Structure 1
Amino acid sequence: MPSTGPADSREPLPTGGDEPPWSRNDALVTAAACVLNLLSYVFFTDFGGRQPVSVPGFLLVALGAVPLLARRRHPVAALAAVLVLDATAALTLPLPSHFGAVLIVALYSVARARPLPVTAVAGLATAAVTVLSQRGGGSTPWQESLVGPPMSVLIVVGAALVVNRWQREGAANRRLLADRAVAEERRRIARELHDIVAHHITTMQLMAGGARANLGNPEVVRDALVTLEGSGRLALREMRQLLDVLRADDEPETAPALPQPGIGDLDRLVGESRLAGLPTELGVYGPPRPLPPTVGLTVFRIAQEALTNARKYAGPARASVRLTYGQDRVLVEVRDDGVGASPQAGPGGYGLIGMRERVALHGGTLTVGPRPEGGFGVLAELPLDQDEVAVR
């Protein structure tokens, strides 16, 4: 679940508890800033004609980049160390600031990782030290000294705030997508579990009731027990298949790919319905052809759920399953001539919800309701991807 917190909170720059104090990127950034500092120092001394490059000055300027190694774990301390070294250089070297690149990186790190009040104080301190440093050489006009540093600070802080916002929005979008994926996976599992459990448990319940009502008729009891055993075996097999599919999502290279029920299993489904006490016929119309496995599974589950509801709510009735192959779509229709109770009559009404979700995944339509001539009907129309069908 997405976490919530204060609106102005910042996420620290990435670190790892078992990682070294600084990373390779930190070392590269520090080295680059150090080189820029030294080039600035050499330019303003030797090439500027002010004075020769001194070893203490060279070392002091080089040392100014070292605190950047700690900028991810301790950004405020790193900036404070840079400011102290910059102020020291300004007081000891009669030259303008040589810490521009280092200050930019250090202040940016603070703005990325710390709340706005801390960033504001850090920005003011940076601007003050930069003004002092630029006045150290005595060659920078005071107007530029007072205007340039604050503008630079605003630019650096603004850039950090923009990057922070981008990252927060990106993280929020990733969390939203992850939550949606989890929710969809839960719905998928719920649909499969409902269809498997509801169908077989209903069949077993009806067979057990029939056996109890016919204890004096051994043949009827035997047939009911055989059906009970078969339904239990099929329920276990389909549950294993579902678990294997879920395991395959986590281990795609090692988990076996077991077949899911499809159109070829409709005969078995109709036979189970007959054994459960609901006379059912299967009709196939149009030239049969191979269908994508996902479409076949959807057709099977819709027929399974509709027949389960018919056995539960239709009362004494007959049912039919009609499978029609169209040019660019396939239709599955389940009818009964019973009392016409809705699939939502059961607790929760998840059967109808599950059917609608399955059909919606294929961009199809589902029509459910009482029939004018009596009974209840379920009609699902599933469009077919011609390219996918053509290669099968």
Structure 2
Amino acid sequence: MDGLRHDHEQDVWVKSMTAWHIVFWVLLLTTIVLSFLTELSSTRRIAFIAALVAMAVAHYFIGQPASLSRRPVPSHVYRILLIVLITFTVLIYPQSVFLLFIISPQIWLLSEKTSEGIAYSVVLLITVGTAQIGARGFSWEGFRETVPWLTISLVASIMLGLWIERVINQSEQRAELILELEATRDKLAEAHHTAGVMAERERMAREIHDTLAQGMTSIVMLSQAAQVELKRGDTEPANGRLAAIEDTARENLAEARALVAAFTPVALSGANLTEALQRLAERFAAETGVDVQVELDLADDQIAGLPQGQQVVLLRAAQESLANIRKHAGATRVRITLGISADGVRIEIRDDGLGFVPDEPAPGFGLAAMRGRVEESGGTVQVESAPGQGTRVEVLIPTSALEVR
């Protein structure tokens, strides 16, 4: 993070300096051209141009690298050279005093502190003013004419320097703010990605638990029952168990393929929710011997009007409830009721099994998975049970959730 901030500040500094470098070269070349339009002796003109060339060389080999590296020693050497050279040029040709417009900004751009910039500005203007007075013969009249503009130039130089410093500071702060915003954006993107991955993992875990895991449980229980019957010599019931194992395995395979392809659950492929519940109840009764009844409190057109996603949620709730009954309840009768009212669509699964204490942590992943799936659809799960009094699970998906989805 610190390295990136430093890179941003360097970029801002380089861009700022580039403009001032262009101004420097333009004014310097303009001064050289103007020197040929003035009445100077050959010797003075050569000395004047030599000083300007020396200024250009110092800028190229010392000033520009110092402005990028911001090392103190080259920076001080360069500014001292500028002050000496402009003093010399003003002494030869007083009108070249306008070179202050390119030297003053250079001094401030290379100053690390405000006090440093002010000190160099004072030295620059005193030496240049002295050179102007000296070009006029150190007369009182020259002193009186030079001091006012010298004072004004000093004030203007300090104000310009403060403005430059403020612009650079604001640019660096803006660059730092942009860097922080980019870092925040990257963190948010990473957080959203992580949340999406976790949500998808949770969804897949629920899907696997509600389909493949339950199917495998059925296969294990049917296999155990078939083994017992084969040991007894009851081949006909064992054959029925093996057929049920084959059907369950085939359905599990189809569910696995549907999960991979993110399709509709196999039970709802080509069938509505009522038919899927009926098949689920018949298979559960055949595997466990439990009496399972499905009651409908809604018309066929109402079932067809339910969004596909809500039908999946209701079917999964029934599957999970039956899986819990198989594992823990020891029930003899189960009733599944599907109905619709002004509040929304609900499914109720009631059994006469052993029951449990709802406030105590439930074993396994089932109820938590069911709650997560239902709450994602905007619904609620209500569990009523007590030891020895069976269990009632109700899933309600409000009308508002149905309308939205």
TM-score of the pair, normalised by structure 2: 0.64
- In structure 2, what is the equivalent of residue 254 of structure 1? none
Letter in 2 for 1:91: L
Whether the aligned pair in 1 keeps the contact of 2:14 and 2:68 (CA below 8 Å) is no
Offset from partner CA, 1:152-174 (integer Å, 9 cap, x none): 55434433333333333333322
Partners of 1:331 and 1:14 in 2: CA distance: 60
Partners of 1:326 and 1:59 in 2: CA distance: 90
Partners of 1:65 and 1:275 in 2: CA distance: 92
Alignment of 1:1-392 (within 5 A): 9-12=1-4, 34=18, 37-39=21-23, 42=26, 78-80=68-70, 88=78, 91-92=81-82, 94=86, 95-96=99-100, 124=112, 132=120, 139-141=153-155, 143-144=158-159, 147-148=162-163, 150-215=165-230, 216-245=233-262, 258-261=263-266, 262=268, 263=273, 264-277=275-288, 278-287=290-299, 288-327=303-342, 329-341=344-356, 348-370=363-385, 374-384=389-399, 385=401, 387=403
Whether the aligned pair in 2 keeps the contact of 1:61 and 1:98 (CA below 8 Å) is no
CA deviation after TM superposition for structure 1 residue 144, in Å: 3.9
Q: Aligned pair in 2 of structure 1 residues 163, 346: CA closer, same or farther (>3 Å)?
A: closer
Give the alignment's Cα RMSD to 1 decimal. Answer: 4.7
Whether the aligned pair in 1 keeps the contact of 2:336 and 2:349 (CA below 8 Å) is yes
Offset from partner CA, 1:333-354 (integer Å, 9 cap, x none): 1111111247999985211110
Letter in 2 for 1:259: T
Q: Aligned pair in 2 of structure 1 residues 165, 346: CA closer, same or farther (>3 Å)?
A: closer
Q: Which deviates the most, 362-371 or 351-360?
A: 362-371
Offset from partner CA, 1:260-298 (integer Å, 9 cap, x none): 344252232222211211321222212323322221211
Q: Flag structure 1 segments of 5+ consecutive residues without an equivalent.
A: 1-8, 16-25, 68-75, 108-121, 246-257
Partners of 1:177 and 1:260 in 2: CA distance: 28
Partners of 2:404 and 2:183 in 1: CA distance: 40
Offset from partner CA, 1:1-33 (integer Å, 9 cap, x none): xxxxxxxx4252799xxxxxxxxxx8xx97897
Q: Which deviates the most, 213-222 or 31-40?
A: 31-40
CA deviation after TM superposition for structure 1 residue 227, in Å: 0.9
Offset from partner CA, 1:125-183 (integer Å, 9 cap, x none): 89957975897575443754775555455434433333333333333322222222222
Partners of 1:342 and 1:382 in 2: CA distance: 25
Q: Which deviates the most, 234-243 or 53-62?
A: 53-62
Whether the aligned pair in 1 keeps the contact of 2:384 and 2:392 (CA below 8 Å) is yes
Offset from partner CA, 1:66-110 (integer Å, 9 cap, x none): 98xxxxxxxx99444899689748834743475999999xx9xxx
Partners of 2:81 and 2:329 in 1: CA distance: 95
Partners of 1:231 and 1:58 in 2: CA distance: 89
CA deviation after TM superposition for structure 1 residue 305, in Å: 0.5
Q: Aligned pair in 2 of structure 1 residues 219, 80: CA closer, same or farther (>3 Å)?
A: same
Letter in 1 for 2:198: A
Partners of 1:239 and 1:135 in 2: CA distance: 84
Whether the aligned pair in 2 keeps the contact of 1:127 and 1:149 (CA below 8 Å) is no
More helix by share: 2
Q: Aligned pair in 2 of structure 1 residues 271, 85: CA closer, same or farther (>3 Å)?
A: farther
CA deviation after TM superposition for structure 1 residue 64, in Å: 10
Partner SS state of residue 302, structure 1 = helix
Q: Aligned pair in 2 of structure 1 residues 281, 60: CA closer, same or farther (>3 Å)?
A: farther
- In structure 2, what is the equivalent of residue 4 of structure 1? none
Whether the aligned pair in 1 keeps the contact of 2:222 and 2:242 (CA below 8 Å) is yes
Letter in 1 for 2:4: P
Tell which structure's C-alpha radius of gyration is larger.
2
Whether the aligned pair in 2 keeps the contact of 1:83 and 1:129 (CA below 8 Å) is no
Q: Aligned pair in 2 of structure 1 residues 304, 63: CA closer, same or farther (>3 Å)?
A: farther
Q: Aligned pair in 2 of structure 1 residues 39, 199: CA closer, same or farther (>3 Å)?
A: same
Letter in 1 for 2:81: L
CA deviation after TM superposition for structure 1 residue 40, in Å: 6.6
Q: Aligned pair in 2 of structure 1 residues 311, 179: CA closer, same or farther (>3 Å)?
A: same
- In structure 2, what is the equivalent of residue 70 of structure 1? none
Partners of 1:307 and 1:159 in 2: CA distance: 61
Letter in 2 for 1:314: A
Q: Aligned pair in 2 of structure 1 residues 342, 244: CA closer, same or farther (>3 Å)?
A: farther
CA deviation after TM superposition for structure 1 residue 369, in Å: 2.6
Partners of 1:86 and 1:259 in 2: CA distance: 76
**Identity value in percent:** 23
Q: Aligned pair in 2 of structure 1 residues 91, 266: CA closer, same or farther (>3 Å)?
A: farther
Partner SS state of residue 378, structure 2 = coil
Partners of 2:69 and 2:21 in 1: CA distance: 15
TM-score of the pair, normalised by structure 1: 0.66
Q: Aligned pair in 2 of structure 1 residues 14, 157: CA closer, same or farther (>3 Å)?
A: closer
Q: Aligned pair in 2 of structure 1 residues 386, 236: CA closer, same or farther (>3 Å)?
A: closer
